[in-house]
Structure 1
């Protein structure tokens, strides 16, 4: 039921995947670990869709894990001098400076304190797939709160904000930078927009149980109510060809655990891994600078955001302490970078759990992976 490779030290992780697939807790999934420059775990199993086995190259929709993949693109541009984390976003994207947003700097946008966690007006799925149109709406709107003062997770629009920034700085789309500058040196493995010839590799998402959030306690002006259904992205929507072909970088990426882990290992390995040298240690260290901390105004749980990644926080108890950065996707996908132990762990499922930043299934994988590391 489980295929791939796994070093002896990480066999408990393979056992956990086998158990989860056998019980039905996972339908199909991939796991990967890069440690000290070596891909020590590259596992997959289950079904991508009924009757179709999960293969080495199965692509999974990873929701907000997409956000930290786009962070790699931003960091590469910072390394090259095309972007400055301390510069105003409006230096590169002048329209964004409207309505008092002219002092928002790049690191604040990456750290979810831009003041623009969503669209003020109702938008459709078709509109957010039209990046330039939906980005123009964000640039022209007033901030929902004073930028830089508190975290408000840019749950759907984050990729649009980063795409507007990158497009203004380079004349290229964020997807182009991700594909050509970040993923190509690793042989691919993560896509913002699945080409027609690879659509057959996409796993079908399986919707989670109902939300555990009691929306009746939240007023109509609560940021969660104003963002999550605007537009409402269900598993059914995200299983369509229209969505898969789109490049919604905040939560529309598709990838393999292996591809995600190899690229993210740039962070855990100081900017250079497997012969790919894209970042300096100084640039990598900037992701650990706290940009926002406290109860997030969208997620309603404690968060601690660095520049483009989350940092260890009480709402995600399985994430190890130390020089660690990470993030997760709706339903359970996760990537964790441990800079001191030169280790990156990635998990991508197609059966979604009730999960915003933490859940028992994902936590078990994270804890097992790092326990194996301790014992190796």
Structure 2
């Protein structure tokens, strides 16, 4: 294990040590200042390449708030309205859903409608065309179901239609650049060399796809490959832009992302959102049973809100990024060992137990 822990956060270091899994990192900022920055293990399955501060890892749905922020930049700039029909900006789009409903996972399009193999992940226009022609599974705005794989194409194509720019490039230029975040969709060759190799933490984990025919099972199955190690560790996957599930990033970058939101949309002197729009982003927009998650969930505009006042987003395999406004904490845990959220829960308990001194 390597890294830094500020005085008072020693218990967090101990918890991170207890949760070591052979490749992970934890970063915590308090009021924008790093108080925990730890990493352990290796970035490859053969355990020959040590995990370091530049290691990138696919964090799955932890990337959803990043593409949500990209769409909200369009709102901030007056180019899109939250209650605009998506079709106003994407004329081929048949579903009568608003931008707000897409952001809150209530657009009724939790699955790609046409069976596709893994090669489809590299064909942006094909998958967006499938979504444009799709019929919603229920009237938009009435039911929540996390748009597990479709979310990034829905919002990313909105960004592309309005700005004329690839959503991966837009995120790089308009979010990652100004906020100095080491993250991205669609990596170049040099960045691919920094990527961690994903593994399953348990032998039964790949089979946990939900009940046959359920929203959960259907949402993660198509296109093929999003849970297949031969796909997600491939150059094709890392090069593709799949904003719902293939953000490659460091723990520090995710924590800094949340620090910027906690600071009212500004980081390092670069304002991306107004405090008012950050407040709307992190205010409840829909509360109810989420058919993908399988429990009552409160959605903001791209983030999930918890009853304890924290908000953020978890990712498949036990990755997570979140903000704790009451304590000023911006937190990220990333791992290459895909498992459950027990590790995140243990770290959250340790971080929440820190006695903060004024």
Does TM, normalized by the shorter one, top 0.5? yes
Matched, 1:43 2:25: no
Secondary structure of 1:368 counterpart? helix
In the alignment, the residues of structure 1 paired with residue 320 and residue 354 of structure 2 have an alpha-carbon distance, to the nearest angstrom, of 17
Aligned to 1:224: 216
In the alignment, the residues of structure 1 paired with residue 58 and residue 78 of structure 2 have an alpha-carbon distance, to the nearest angstrom, of 31
In the alignment, the residues of structure 1 paired with residue 34 and residue 74 of structure 2 have an alpha-carbon distance, to the nearest angstrom, of 26
Superposed CA offset, 1:321-366 (max 9, x none) = 12x321100011101112343321000011111x3xxx22111112
Structure 1 runs of 4+ aligned residues shifted over 6 Å read 212-216
User: CA offset at residue 271 of structure 1?
Assistant: 1.1
Aligned to 1:31: 26
Matched, 1:255 2:252: no
In 2, are the aligned partners of 1:267 and 1:339 still within 8 Å (CA)? Answer: no
User: CA offset at residue 9 of structure 1?
Assistant: 2.1
Aligned to 1:342: 328
Superposed CA offset, 1:92-133 (max 9, x none) = 11211x1xx23x111110110011001122112211321111
In the alignment, the residues of structure 1 paired with residue 319 and residue 282 of structure 2 have an alpha-carbon distance, to the nearest angstrom, of 21
Matched, 1:114 2:107: yes
Gaps of 5+ in 1: 314-320
User: CA offset at residue 246 of structure 1?
Assistant: 1.0
In the alignment, the residues of structure 2 paired with residue 295 and residue 257 of structure 1 have an alpha-carbon distance, to the nearest angstrom, of 30
Question: Normalization by structure 1: what TM-score?
Answer: 0.89
User: CA offset at residue 214 of structure 1?
Assistant: 7.4
Superposed CA offset, 1:260-301 (max 9, x none) = 111221211111233232221101011133233222222223
Aligned to 2:5: 6
Number of aligned residue pairs: give it: 353
Superposed CA offset, 1:47-70 (max 9, x none) = 111111001100011011111121
Matched, 1:55 2:52: yes
Aligned to 2:289: 295
Secondary structure of 1:17 counterpart? helix
In 2, are the aligned partners of 1:74 and 1:166 still within 8 Å (CA)? Answer: yes
Secondary structure of 1:4 counterpart? strand
In the alignment, the residues of structure 2 paired with residue 136 and residue 235 of structure 1 have an alpha-carbon distance, to the nearest angstrom, of 27
Question: Normalization by structure 2: what TM-score?
Answer: 0.93
In 1, are the aligned partners of 2:104 and 2:285 still within 8 Å (CA)? Answer: yes
Match of 2:73 among 72, 76, 85: 76
In the alignment, the residues of structure 2 paired with residue 82 and residue 300 of structure 1 have an alpha-carbon distance, to the nearest angstrom, of 35
Superposed CA offset, 1:25-65 (max 9, x none) = x1111111121121222221211111110011000110111
Superposed CA offset, 1:217-243 (max 9, x none) = x453x2123221112422332111111
